[in-house]
């Protein structure tokens, strides 16, 4: 049972570089989410996709773009990385409605220097 798989697990970028964080789930969930977590803080929602073909902004979308490639995959792109984007990024998925919680990936630790 893979659940939610995120790649890469670690990444160091230089300011201004771009990169894409990948996320895939194998639970046939309709909804997927990207959160970031800074040290000592809770998780903040960046973008989410309620269902395949839709995406919406969360609390902190600036500097990011997303693509819901298909039902399984939801990627997060940093077009021009900034030191303020140094964080741990978590992808999650959930059934679209009803009883059931979110399943999270193990995270991507990103450092922008």
Q: Which two tokens stand for residue 91?
A: 């992808």
Dihedral over alpha carbons 14, 15, 19, 24 (to 10 degrees): 90
Report if residue 81 touches other proteins, rule: CB under 8 A: no
> Nearest to residue 17, comparing CAs of 71, 64, 79?
79
72 sits in which H/E element: none
Q: Does 25 bind other proteins (CB under 8 A)?
A: no
Binder of other proteins out of 24, 25, 105, 110 (CB under 8 A): 105
With binding defined as CB under 8 A, does residue 23 bind other proteins? no
Q: Which of 1, 28, 62, 97 binds other proteins (CB under 8 A)?
A: 97
Residue 87 touching other proteins (CB under 8 A): no
């Amino acid at each position: 049972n893979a659940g939610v798989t995120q790649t890469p697990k670690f990444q160091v970028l230089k300011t201004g570089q771009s990169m894409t964080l990948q996320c895939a789930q194998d639970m046939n969930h309709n909804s997927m989410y990207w959160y970031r977590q800074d040290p000592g803080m809770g998780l903040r929602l960046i973008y989410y996709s309620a269902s395949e073909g839709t995406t919406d902004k969360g609390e902190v979308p600036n500097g990011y773009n997303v693509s819901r490639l298909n039902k399984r995959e939801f990627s997060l792109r940093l077009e021009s990385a900034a030191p303020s984007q140094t964080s741990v990024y978590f992808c999650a998925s959930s059934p679209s409605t009803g009883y059931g919680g979110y399943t999270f990936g193990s995270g991507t630790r990103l450092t922008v220097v």
